[in-house]
Structures are given as structure tokens and as C-alpha cells.
Amino acid sequence: PCIQAHTLSLVFTIDGVEYALQGRDLTIASGELCLILIMGMDIESTIGQVDWILGDAFMRKFYVVHDYEGERIGMAPVVKRL
């Protein structure tokens, strides 16, 4: 049921770097339904408006490292092992 969604894509630009997710990264089939793995949220925090929380759909495709002491994060494409 998700074949048509596979033609779509979503690109996040973070600090000038583009991170693209394809339709197959963003959907999952559940019986006859095609479920999208993202949802909108309206979250306010002490640092201002939060536009996106990059969850498991993003982290399946990009490896994310959190450096709390250095107050930074790093991201790189996941390398598939043969």
C-alpha cells in the first residue's frame, strides 16, 4: 500500500548540510494501510520554538552522536554492512 509514497522525499537542511529521507524511509505498511512515520508537534521550550524532533525514522538513515560537554551533535549517513 505504500508504493505511491516511495516517490516522495523530505529534506532537512541543518547547518547547511542536506539530510534527505525518501518515502520508503518515512512510511511503513500495516495491513492495507500506509502509515507515515512523522507527525507534527507544537512544542515550546526555554530556547524557543522547536520545529522538529528527529526520531527513529531519521536515525535509521543517519547516525547521530550527541556531545553534551561540547554542546554539539554530529550526523553521518549509516553505512550498510555487506
19-78 per-position pLDDT tens digit? 999 988 989 899 999 988 887 777 776 666 666 778 888 888 999 999 999 999 999 999
pLDDT at 2: 83
Q: Which of 47, 31, 37 is nearest to 10 (CA)?
A: 37
Among all chains, which residue has been given the C-alpha cell 529521507?
A: 21
7: pLDDT strictly greater than 80: yes
Does pTM surpass 0.75?
A: no
